[in-house]
């Protein structure tokens, strides 16, 4: 039996039933008919009945062999059905699954399918013609909307004499949510707000941490009376003493995502002239991962978290707590992407009072740095997360000089922020593994009530 020829490119819905020929004779079918004719002719000319009888089956098989897809009791004149079914079961982070369903035309002998996805190698398979469900799987390090599987399939008749026009099925685009890295404790704002929460504030109220023992005053609750202290200090019960505690409060965290840039390690793709690789996270992928990690740590601690996107003029996600809010944050992070040339903001986005601001940016221009400085001067605690990926060595003198100038300007911006008391935490390459330790350093510095800002090295250019 001859091997099937490669599946050519097809378009969605190509060669539908009733719109032209679906099955065609291949070169193998033409060659079989030609061989049969030659053998029969030689047998008749030479008077050799054995030679003519040898060519007759070949000729009859090529001419009279039924074409697949002809109307039968079990099927009709239809092409092979190709369908892509997206998986609904939970998968591992960065993993996309789907199912390719092949339903061949009655009379088909072999099914040939070719599957690929942008940025991935093509895979081709030939199977026996029967209804099949082929599992598809790909792994990507990118987040956000991702193109997935494209499949071309066609059937082959007996002996490869006939073949079917290829049919295409395309899986829908999938939204890959960012994953989170365990961080432990993250820095809190300078002042806490709210009437309840997991943290102890510096004001009086209901809580567990003792502040002092004070004489009873109007407004104090009876359950706060300290009878032992009262009996010791006022045996005649002339004065009653109560135990006063610090109130509990919650922290408010505002995540500010700079989605205006989406650049990768390859400088040649920064101008949009080439596709980004699926095995290399871009700056926006790193920003999504860092923001998801901080949001998860904040929600696990029982605090409130919100999201602001610098790349799009839309209503921010207001800060609140809970697992439902975390899902909203992750979905908003995954759908963020650059939209043309964003208009320059005349003023910094408004953030809640007494909130800590995490700015995830590449610092490739002055706008994001100016925003961080504005929030810091307004009394907010600001942490800048550097999300520029580690740039690969470049080739070409002009490109090398341009990157050197850009990296020096970027390093000056980040160093100036650190000098003004805004810590910079890198999130690319090996520095990501030490990000949790750097944030823990900021937490311990705040617990020791240091007045001097903490400067973290490593936020400069690469």
Mean pLDDT by runs of 10 across the 462 residues of the chain is 52 45 64 67 73 66 54 53 75 80 85 88 88 88 88 81 82 88 86 63 59 76 78 82 72 92 87 77 93 93 90 85 92 86 76 90 91 91 93 85 92 93 90 85 69 43 40
How far, in Å, CA of 301 to CA of 401, rounded?
46
| CATH number, domain 23-175 | 2.60.40.10
Instruction: Identify the pLDDT of residue 19.
Output: 46
Instruction: Identify the pLDDT of residue 386.
Output: 94
Instruction: Identify the pLDDT of residue 60.
Output: 61
Query: Helix-strand-coil percent breakdown of the chain, rounded to 5?
Result: 30, 25, 45
Reported CATH class of domain 252-447: alpha beta
Instruction: Identify the pLDDT of residue 55.
Output: 66
pTM for this entry:
0.75
Instruction: Identify the pLDDT of residue 154.
Output: 87
Boundaries of every domain in the chain: 23-175, 199-249, 252-447
**Are residues 283 and 272 in contact, defined by beta-carbon separation less than 8 angstroms?**
no
Strand partners, 126: 112
* Phi, psi for 132 (deg, rounded to 5): -135, 150
Residues counted in the chain: 462
CA nearest neighbour of 138 among 86, 178, 102, 101: 86
CA nearest neighbour of 310 among 253, 259, 380: 259
How far, in Å, CA of 99 to CA of 87, rounded?
7
Neighbours of 34 (CB within 10 A): 13
Contacts of 226 (CB under 8 A, 6+ apart): 213, 241, 242, 243
How far, in Å, CA of 115 to CA of 138, rounded?
11
């Amino acid at each position: 039996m001859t091997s099937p020829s490669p599946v050519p490119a097809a378009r969605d819905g190509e060669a539908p039933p009733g719109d032209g020929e679906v099955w065609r004779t291949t070169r193998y079918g033409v060659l079989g008919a030609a061989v049969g004719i030659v053998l029969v002719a030689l047998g008749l000319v030479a008077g050799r009945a054995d030679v003519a009888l040898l060519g007759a089956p070949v000729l009859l098989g090529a001419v009279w062999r039924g074409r697949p897809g002809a109307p039968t009791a079990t099927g009709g004149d239809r092409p092979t059905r190709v369908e892509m079914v997206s998986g609904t079961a939970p998968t591992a982070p960065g993993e996309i699954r789907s199912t390719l369903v092949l339903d061949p035309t009655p009379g088909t002998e072999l099914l040939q399918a070719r599957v690929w996805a942008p940025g991935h190698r093509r895979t081709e398979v030939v199977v026996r013609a029967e209804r099949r469900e082929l599992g598809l799987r790909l792994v990507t390090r990118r987040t956000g909307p991702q193109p997935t599987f494209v499949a071309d399939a066609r059937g082959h008749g007996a002996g490869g004499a006939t073949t079917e026009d290829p049919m295409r099925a395309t899986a829908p685009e999938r939204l890959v949510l960012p994953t989170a890295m365990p961080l432990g404790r993250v820095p809190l704002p300078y002042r806490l707000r709210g009437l309840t929460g997991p943290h102890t504030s510096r004001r009086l109220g209901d809580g567990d941490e003792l502040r002092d023992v004070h004489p009873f005053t109007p407004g104090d609750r009876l359950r706060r009376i300290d009878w032992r202290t009262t009996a010791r200090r006022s045996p005649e019960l002339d004065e009653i003493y109560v135990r006063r505690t610090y109130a509990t409060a919650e922290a408010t965290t505002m995540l500010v995502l700079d989605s205006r840039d989406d650049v990768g390690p390859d400088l040649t793709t920064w101008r949009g002239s080439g596709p980004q690789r699926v095995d290399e996270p871009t700056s926006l992928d790193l920003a999504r991962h860092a923001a998801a990690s901080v949001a998860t740590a904040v929600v696990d601690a029982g605090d409130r978290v919100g999201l602001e996107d610098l790349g799009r003029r839309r209503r921010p996600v207001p800060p609140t707590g809970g697992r439902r809010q975390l899902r909203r944050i992750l979905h908003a992070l995954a759908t963020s992407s650059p939209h043309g040339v964003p208009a320059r903001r005349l003023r910094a986005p408004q953030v809640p009072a007494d909130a800590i601001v995490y700015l995830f940016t590449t610092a490739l221009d002055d706008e994001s740095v100016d925003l961080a400085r504005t929030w810091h001067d307004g009394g907010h605690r600001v942490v800048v997360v550097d999300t520029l990926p580690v740039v690969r060595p470049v080739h070409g003198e002009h490109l090398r000089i341009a990157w050197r100038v850009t990296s020096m300007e970027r390093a000056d911006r980040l160093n100036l922020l650190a000098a003004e008391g805004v810590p910079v935490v890198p999130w690319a390459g090996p520095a990501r593994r030490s990000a949790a330790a750097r944030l823990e350093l900021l937490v311990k510095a705040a617990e020791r009530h240091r007045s001097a800002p903490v400067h973290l090295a490593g936020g400069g250019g690469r």
